[in-house]
Amino acid sequence: MDSKVECVCYRNCGDEDVTPGFLAQLMSQFYYLGWMSGSAGAIAVATDNSVYVSPSGLQKERLCGADFFEYDVKWNELIYRPPNKLIRETACSPLFKYIMQTRDAKCVFHTHSKYSNVLSSLITGKEFRMTNQEMIKGILCGKSGENLQNSDNLRVPIIENQNSEHLLLQDLKKALQEDPKICAVLVRNHGIFVWGPTWDKTKIMLECFEYLFEIACETYRLRSSPLIK
């Protein structure tokens, strides 16, 4: 294999140093995809020594590394907080901590995309299911860590929204305890939590989920259209 190709492939597999500045850039990308508009969304990413947590209520396309909170890897000690005392830690922190400590996850993303919101409002039940879609292969099984097959049954539980993210914790705990295979939870009329073993694998899963949600919403719309017979 050509050495240049090897280098590119390696750098696309999470080789970048995970720093607060890098995470700020990542959140900016999510903003421009429409997943973190209006100061919405949050992330937590663990390294060997630290856990970096995003702030609350700030414009996600304008974040810098100094805006992030830093904990020790066990979440016992706050190592760094932004100098501006008005900056608050995301209300998702209790959920991030629980997911990381019970699922051996190193990264959790929480986004507010249109399609995750619309899809959860279209479904009256407590879960989203899909099968026979190629992009399912980009999703990991939360229990084995292996990629699903396109013929597998993808399941994402849906929990009800609350006035603040930290109030979602009990329902999130229940969803995770009931199904160790999941790696995402939808919040009705709100958004989604996705977690994984590395930031890049979690990003890939988030992109695949968003693609599948869009497919589901578009299929519903077209089947409801008088133009489709």
Query: Cα–Cα distances in Å, from 188 out to 32, 46, 185?
Result: 23, 27, 10
CB 206 within 8 A of CB 194: yes
Retrieve residue 131's tokens.
Answer: 């099968």
Task: Identify the residue whose tokens are 């996705």.
Answer: 194
Neighbouring C-alpha atoms within 13 Å toward the C-beta of 214 = 10
Is 73 exposed, middle or buried (CB count within 10 Å of its CB: 0-12, 13-18, 19+)? middle
Q: How many helices (H) and strands (E) does the chain have?
A: 6, 11
CB 205 within 8 A of CB 184: yes
Reduced to 3 states (helix: H, G, I; strand: E, B; else coil), residue 151 is coil
Choice among 6, 16, 134, 218 that is catalytic: 134
Tell me whether residue 134 is one of the annotated catalytic residues.
yes
The C-alpha atoms of residue 158 and residue 121 are separated, in whole angstroms, by 10
Taking residue 214's Cβ as centre, other Cβ atoms within 10 Å add up to 16
The C-alpha atoms of residue 120 and residue 127 are separated, in whole angstroms, by 9
Reduced to 3 states (helix: H, G, I; strand: E, B; else coil), residue 211 is helix
Q: Which residues are annotated as catalytic?
A: 134
